[in-house]
Amino acid sequence: MPTHERSEHLWIALCTCVLLALTVAPYAVAWLGAPQGLVFTGVLYNPWDGHSYLAKMRQGWDGRWLFHLPFTEEPHDGAFIFAFYLALGHAARALGLSLPLTFHLARVLASAFMFAMLWRLLGRFFAGPMRRRAFLLTALGAGLGWLFPTTAPLLPDLWIPEAFAFYSALSNPHFPLALGLMAALADMSLADGGRRRLLGAAACGLAMAVVQPLALPVILAALAAYALAQALRRREWRGALGAAAAAGVAGAPVLAYDLWVYRANPALAAWSAQNVTVSPPAWHWLAGYGLLAALAGVGLWAALRHSPSPLDLAAVWVGAAAVGMYIPFALQRRFSIGLGIPVGILAAAGFGALAGKVKPRLGNALFAGVQGLVSLSAAFLLVLGIAGAVGGEPRVFVSADEAHALTALRDVGGGRGVVAASPALSTIVPGWAGNPVVYGHPYETIRAEEKQAALERFFAQADDAARRRFLAEHRVAFVLWGARERAMASDFSPERLGLRLVARCGAVEVWATGERP
């Protein structure tokens, strides 16, 4: 292997290790430095969604391959969706690992894959030092969210992780895995090769449809637009179209099943109706990418001036994502997944065009300044996560007594039977104990607002007759009674309601109703 290739391999290996270490750091602080008397749940960023992933894994741990909504009490048929997390749950049980540890091992491996595929893809556009610069801009680049941490809503770089590589790596396993698959498919569309490349594209398409279905239409639209543009210019277009066709054919059955089951399954249809993720205004996205967006604009201009070139793919990729993000579709924001990849490519091209006009030493200094500015949101997210870990956030930690009570609940109920607990603890129950809850998630609980209000009234109102009606109406089998519930309650007595104590774990008690789990 030539010396320069060894140097490149060593650089990307070391850089990836540093990035992975950074994504592990906040969780290590939470695990090893949990405040006295608290137990880390394994979730730091966006706790609602994080606990929903653990709840899906818990169903896999329990041997299921059909997903059921874990945060709602209505009985319903399962569906073969979220197979990635169900599989992680099966793997955790087979390996004898805890769900949070399995989740984070998968997150780190998926992030390593994403960084490797980004590096490979960037080699189609850049060489030498410019490839390294492009990698850093794409892997760490974000915008101005750190300047406005208290605005509502936040800028996208602080709350839409799937649109940014580093934030994806911090958040969960399926975002970086999907981004890595998108990068791999884009790389295959620019590569030479025959059957093996088509088989690889098909594998990417199938995996993407399973892991994050809405990523597939975005990259397929980008590849199709790129192939069309190449054909109109009488350039090679078969590679891009062949990769898109292979990926589309492989992933289409999964997408078709998803479309069908979200309509045919009443519970999933009810969830889908309230699962609305609207894309922020365009200026939010521009601010969310900040300096990176400005450089991408320069890169786009350079790409148009020198078209046709591989940069055309990055340009149409941004366009395909932008169209998806504003079509009249309830999940339009989800089409932003992977947007940071083409933005990073164009930003690197823009910086290269500007740096080419100055001396190399000044160009190096300029890049250091640019990289520092576009990395501030990543640094802010790390600080935010560590602050949450040190501060004992209530959706991030449970008390030691609550942890023991959730284990006791699982032993008593076997993961079955609806649970009533405070809203914050209810978010954690399905992932730790496996039981469904009356309310626990603003999207995955059917009629979420109504049930949250009913749950809060159950503890707060001084009316035992109304409480009994609540227990019967929602088929509650267990009530958790600890510090969080006592803080909500007014004249609440489990004995007066005829409940039976089945476990006492310090200050937290598990009470059973007459409802059979």
- The whole-angstrom separation of Cα 479 and Cα 425 is 11
244, HSE (Cβ side, Cα atoms, 13 Å): 20
Do 129 and 137 contact (CB within 8 A), yes or no? no
Element (H, E) at 105: helix 99-122
pLDDT by residue for the chain (517 residues), tens only, comes to 677 788 899 999 999 999 999 999 999 999 999 989 999 999 999 999 999 999 999 999 999 999 999 999 999 999 999 999 999 999 999 999 999 999 999 999 999 999 999 999 999 999 999 999 999 999 999 999 999 998 888 999 999 999 999 999 999 999 999 999 999 999 999 987 778 899 999 999 999 999 999 999 999 999 999 999 888 887 888 889 999 999 999 999 999 999 999 999 999 999 999 999 999 999 999 999 999 999 999 999 988 887 778 899 999 999 999 999 999 999 999 999 999 999 999 999 999 999 888 888 899 999 999 999 999 999 999 999 999 999 888 889 999 999 999 999 999 988 999 999 999 999 999 999 999 999 999 999 999 999 999 999 999 988 999 999 999 999 999 999 999 999 999 899 999 999 999 999 999 999 999 877 7
- The whole-angstrom separation of Cα 410 and Cα 73 is 17
| Residue-wise DSSP of 143-176 | -SGGG-TTSSSPPGGGT-GGGSHHHHHHH-SHHH
Q: Of 444, 81, 86, 447, whose CA–CA distance to 260 is shortest?
A: 81
Tokens of 258: 């998803």
Q: Where are the beta strands (DSSP E) in 173-248?
A: none
CA dihedral 235, 237, 239, 243 (to 10 degrees): 160
Burial 319-335 (b: 16+ CB within 10 A, else e): ebbeebbeeebeebbbb
Could you tell me the end-to-end alpha-carbon distance of the chain, in angstroms, rounded to an integer? 63
- Backbone phi, psi, residue 480, to 5°: -90, 135
| Residue-wise DSSP of 373-397 | HHTHHHHHHHHHHHHHHHHT-TTTE
Element (H, E) at 13: helix 3-32
Each as own residue / partner, the long-range contacts of residues 329-334 (CB below 8 Å, 24 or more positions apart, any chain) are 330/272, 330/275, 330/276, 330/277, 331/214, 331/275, 331/276, 331/277, 332/277, 332/278, 332/279, 333/160, 333/277, 333/278, 333/279, 333/280, 334/162, 334/214, 334/277
Pairing of strands 397-399, 508-512: unpaired
Give how far Cα 47 sits from Cα of 52, 58, 90, 443, Å: 8, 16, 22, 13
Q: Which amino acid is at 425?
A: L
Q: Which amino acid is at 145?
A: G
Question: Whose structure tokens read 């049980």?
Answer: 93
